Amino acid sequence: MTEDASADRALQGEGLPVDPAATLRIAILDRDSGFLQVLDKRLERIGWERRVLASSVSPQTIVPMRLSAVIVDLAVLGPACWEWLERLCGELPELPVVVCTGSSTVAQRVRGLRLGADDWLTKPCHPEELIARVEAVVRRRRRLESPQDSMPILAGEVEIHRDQYQAFVNSVSIDLTRREFELIELLAGSGGRVLEREFIYQRLWGYSMVRGDRSVDVFVRKLRQKLERVSPSWRYIHTHFGIGYRFAAEPVDGLSTVAELAALAVLSTPGEELDLART
């Protein structure tokens, strides 16, 4: 076997085990069918989840995809590419972005990197180099993450483990759907701030809430019921009438007076009555 052939075989990762912990979820904004076909075969071999986007999508559409990184060919976006790139990097600063596009000038590459792209690769390129660059930017981002990001959120009797997509009470996992977990993670990670319904909806569903939509209230009610069932001595989700919800662990004993219960009833959302019997 020649030296070049050996090198290419090494690039293809033949005989190398795939580390499950290294599996990433990426979106590829590209229309180059030949390039996508070659890249897809390699990504399938290493077990990465991928989604191909043929046109620009709003950053808020990308949020619920829970991506590890985005690969974008700016040629797909045309003259609007700079505005789109700036918006994506501005609204999702934690999301690694790798530009993989055709020939470009130094000024264009500098502009893209200054707008927030983490790396820039020029086509034609070897898929292994692109994969390695994605791995590198994801690795750098993870090093920069605060150690608190990987620590469980503790509130009352609840432990929320973001890396496991699970919440526990007394070491027993709470039976939460994916959407319910995303909701408790969002609320509990807000530092006690009140989150507006529109904000919650946009973060969880990925697009603007239609007037009159009660999806957020429905999921909050289901989550609240599950929390009260496994941790009856604590109240976690608090309603702010006309605004949204706040997450804070408060013992039920601290809400024992009639006046306090009445105040909570006032804060209940329309159509969502406070069950005084459970207090």
Structure confidence by residue, pLDDT tens digits, 206-254: 656 777 788 899 999 999 999 999 999 999 999 999 899 999 999 987 5
Q: Which of 67, 92, 72 is nearest to 82 (CA)?
A: 72
Q: State the pairing for strand pair 97-101/119-122.
A: parallel
Note the pTM of the prediction, 2 decimals. 0.51
Cis peptide bond N-terminal to 124, omega within 30: yes
How far is residue 85's CA from residue 20's CA, in Å, rounded to a whole number? 30
pLDDT at site 248: 93
Distances (CA, A) of 115 to 29, 90, 99, 109, 128: 17, 8, 12, 10, 25
Q: State the pairing for strand pair 158-161/166-169.
A: antiparallel
For residues 49 and 26, the answer to whether their CB atoms sit within 8 Å is: yes
pLDDT at site 16: 37
pLDDT at site 223: 95
How far is residue 229's CA from residue 45's CA, in Å, rounded to a whole number? 44
pLDDT at site 178: 81
For the chain, which residues score pLDDT lower than 50?
Answer: 1-21, 256-279
pLDDT at site 257: 42
Domains of the chain and any CATH numbers: 3-144 (3.40.50.2300), 150-278 (1.10.10.10)
pLDDT at site 141: 77
**Token pair recorded at residue 125:** 């390129």
pLDDT at site 194: 93
Tell me the Cα Rg of the chain: 23
